[in-house]
Amino acid sequence: MIELTQQDPKVFIIPESTAMDLGQNVEQMGAYLVQMAHMMTRINDRMDEIEARERRITISHQQVLDLGALIRMRARQICDKYDLQPADERAIKGTIKREMLQKYNIKDFHDLPEVALPEVRRNVDRWVNIRIVMQRRQLHQETGP
């Protein structure tokens, strides 16, 4: 317990031994903080290493095939929804694929990190580009049915 003596209502006098104890405690806390900072740096470095390793793991060939089937299905849905012709399905499929590859900055789906696969699937499921749909419709109007 720290005993403080009060001679003046605004001034407290701390005994020298208590002040030395407090000084040692502050030094010890500083040393702990430095140790914690080093530990946090090591943890952050390890997490970065793990995340980099995860990004290097790419999807399997079967997952690439499944993703291709999902893109075909989405292209078919868009053609049905917007009354496009079956021939448009191939163009829309190519557009979806091109946009996904471009978005994830990869040249082939085999290069897609496995951690990104669920997001790519969601994006394919939500994909619709009205500009492309309108271009396909206009093409059919110009060339006839």
- Residue 13 β-bridge partners: 5
Is the model's pTM score more than 0.75?
no
pLDDT, tens digit (0-9, with 9 covering 90-100), for 84-118: 888 899 999 999 999 999 999 999 999 999 989 99
Residue 93's nearest CA partner among 139, 136, 60 is: 136
Res 144: pLDDT: 63
pLDDT band at 53 (very low <50, low <70, confident <90, very high): confident
Helix 130-143 × helix 86-103 angle, to 10°: 150
* Spatial separation of the C-alpha atoms in residues 8 and 112, rounded to whole Å: 73
